[in-house]
Structure 1
Amino acid sequence: MSPPAAPPVFIPLGGALLSDNELGTAYVSATTGAVATALGLNALTKHVSPLIGRFVPFAAVAAANCINIPLMRQRELKVGIPVTDENGTRLGESAQAAKQAIAQVVVSRILMAAPGMAIPPFIMNTLEKKAFLKRFPWMSAPIQVGLVGFCLVFATPLCCALFPQNSSMSVTSLEAELQAKIRESHPELRRVYFNKGL
């Protein structure tokens, strides 16, 4: 009888595991950033329309993504991610490619959350003025969850596909040392490719 398979280990694109300290820092920073954003915006929106106050969670989610993703992938920003030619031949590691990849992921994650956190507030604001929710106020939460779920069904695949998984950038945008190495081995190459991650 063969031994059970070991559980899969997540290795970032740069190839190095994150330490417990780095994971803890990323988690605490993202949580603190989201909570601070939510509390700050809640204080600012106390004297404005309730509709505006409904968008505070979206701002908190956006702030958390802007903090968490770069921190979770900080090793990639330091050592770079693999870049290849169009045939998949590895040319080296680039921190510039990592920056572009992480920026694309941050944008797609924020846009992914946008429909589910922007459309339901308008619908709920309208529904709460109607007799139905005044008569059945307990229906508010299930309706909101349903609306958010419906939005995510479409937003998630669309925003994952916003940027190609195998993104590219100009050789001239890479670090000087890597540019020199590529010009030496592949003088005709104009663009390199990299996996942007999720």
Structure 2
Amino acid sequence: MPPLVGRFVPFTAVAAANCINIPFMRSREIMQGIPVFDSKGRRLGESSNAAKSAIAQVVISRVCMATPGMIFPPILMSWLEEKQFMKARPWLNAPIQVLVVGFFLVFATPFCCALFPQKSSMAVSSLEKDLQEKIKALPDPVDRVYFNKGL
């Protein structure tokens, strides 16, 4: 493999860590569920299906958040290191990497946090059967529930 491929190993590690750590740290939510609400803010119950959806959204956001700062700088630095300017000033390598990664994080973090709305929703038909029945038994049943996805 070319040396550039080795520069993407940290990204792979960060992506894998996010895919494992976030569900692990939020496993209680998967087992017990998270609160779901109607559009008026009334709590309707807890749903582990909503928790799984929320956790999946957070994992995707976190992997996307790491992508620009861990994919583009290795490519840019590989290109810059071939230039005479950088060969004459190898001490600039670390400051340039920090600035490039910082630049990407400034924009990637808020953008990726906004990929999915904080107050997410899902169809009642996607919830657990017992919660579906509980919602359908209400005087004014709803067809969508809302939940806080977390960060």
- Indicate whether 1:140 and 2:93 are aligned: yes
Instruction: State the shift of 1:132 in Å.
Output: 1.5
Q: 1:185 aligns with which of 126, 138, 145?
A: 138
Change (3 A) 1:133 1:186: farther
1:89 pairs with 2:29: no
C-alpha distance in structure 2 between counterparts of 1:117 and 1:71, whole Å? 24
Structure 1 residue 188: Cα displacement: 3.6
CA offsets 1:23-71 (integer angstroms, 9 cap, x no match): xxxxxxxxxxxxxxxxxxxxxxxxx111111111100000000010001
Say whether the 8 Å CA contact 2:58–2:150 is kept in structure 1: yes
Which residue matches 2:122?
169
C-alpha distance in 2, partners of 1:88/1:57? 42
Stretches of structure 2 lacking an aligned partner (at least 5 in a row):
none
Task: Tell me which residue corresponds to 2:12.
Answer: 59
Poorly superposed stretches of 4+, deviation over 6 Å:
none
Amino acid in the other structure paired with 1:66:
C
TM-score for both structures, normalised by structure 2: 0.98
Q: Which residue is 1:74 aligned to?
A: 27
1:107 partner amino acid: I
Distance 1:179 1:94 in 2: 10
Deviation (angstroms), 1:162: 0.1
Q: Is the 8 A contact 2:37 2:146 kept in 1?
A: yes
Q: Shift of the alpha carbon at 1:187? A: 5.1
Distance in 2, Cα, partners of 1:145 & 1:49: 23
2:135/2:141 contact within 8 Å kept: no
* CA shift in 2, pair 1:156/1:186, >3 Å: farther
Q: Which runs of 5+ in 1 are unaligned?
A: 1-47
Correspondence for 1:110: 63
Aligned identity (percent) is 66
Q: Within 2, Cα distance between the matches of 1:86 and 1:187? A: 12
Report how far residue 80 of structure 1 moved.
0.3
**1:133, distance to aligned residue in structure 2 (A):** 1.4
Cα distance between partner residues in 2 of 1:109 and 1:186: 40
RMSD, matched Cα: 0.8
How many residue pairs get aligned? The number is 151
Higher RCO, Cα 8 Å, sep 6+: 2
TM norm structure 1: 0.75
Match of residue 12 from structure 1: none
